[in-house]
């Protein structure tokens, strides 16, 4: 395995692990705990949540762009097979989350901030499923990259 390929694979480990950690920290720790803080009202919590999740989605998009570049460049390190399918799954889940799930959540937040009580909605649960799916997929990508390095290491020691 060349030094370039090792560097690319290390980035293919680091970026998914970073993404995994960001989702875990924000979606599954910060978001539920925010409403338990003293003095936090629902409108204030929703305003903070909107800002945090919009920023998270931007950073996720940047990480996805970097992973996409690393998946197809350099040509000698291009991904294929099952890793390509997992990458495509990440792309699809991210696109669905941003294009189809976030807009109704934003509309709902607007309604609550305007004083309405829109009642229960499945959109938060759908967003959670998207985040959980993303976490699984990026973890699989990181493991695949690590295995690639390990395979090359084992074969070079034979």
Torsion of CA 45, 112, 61, 16, to 10 degrees: 50
Q: How confident is the model at residue 158 (pLDDT cuts 50, 70, 90)?
A: low
Query: Rounded to whole angstroms, how far apart are CA atoms 29 and 66?
Result: 26
Bigger pLDDT: 84 or 151? Answer: 84
- What mean pLDDT comes out for the span 9-33? 97
Q: How confident is the model at residue 4 (pLDDT cuts 50, 70, 90)?
A: confident
Write the pLDDT tens digit of every residue in 105-125: 999 999 999 999 888 899 999
Write the pLDDT tens digit of every residue in 85-102: 999 999 999 999 999 999
Q: How confident is the model at residue 3 (pLDDT cuts 50, 70, 90)?
A: confident
> In Å, how far are 46, 91, 94, 109 from 105, measured between CA atoms?
10, 20, 15, 6
Query: Rounded to whole angstroms, how far apart are CA atoms 37 and 149?
Result: 44
In three-state form (DSSP H/G/I as H, E/B as E, the rest C), the secondary structure along 92-112 is HHHHHHHHHHHHHHHHHHHHH
Predicted pLDDT of residue 77: 83
- What mean pLDDT comes out for the span 15-34? 97
> What does pLDDT average to over the chain?
94
Assess whether pLDDT exceeds 90 at residue 40.
yes
Provide, rounded to the nearest whole percent, the portion of the chain with pLDDT above 70: 98
pTM, two decimal places: 0.93
């Amino acid at each position: 395995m060349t030094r370039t390929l090792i560097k690319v694979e290390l980035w293919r480990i680091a970026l998914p692990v970073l993404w995994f950690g960001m989702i875990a920290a924000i979606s599954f720790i910060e978001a539920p705990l925010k409403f338990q803080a003293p003095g936090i009202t629902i409108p204030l919590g929703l305003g903070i949540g909107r800002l945090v999740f919009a920023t998270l989605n931007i950073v996720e998009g940047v990480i996805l762009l970097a992973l996409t570049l690393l998946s197809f460049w350099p040509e000698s390190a291009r991904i294929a097979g099952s890793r390509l399918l997992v990458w495509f799954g990440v792309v699809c889940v991210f696109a669905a989350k941003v294009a189809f799930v976030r807009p109704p959540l934003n509309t709902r937040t607007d309604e609550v901030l305007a004083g309405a009580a829109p009642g229960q909605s499945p959109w938060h649960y759908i967003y959670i499923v998207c985040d959980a799916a993303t976490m699984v997929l990026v973890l699989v990508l990181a493991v695949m990259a690590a295995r690639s390095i390990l395979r090359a290491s084992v074969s070079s020691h034979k």
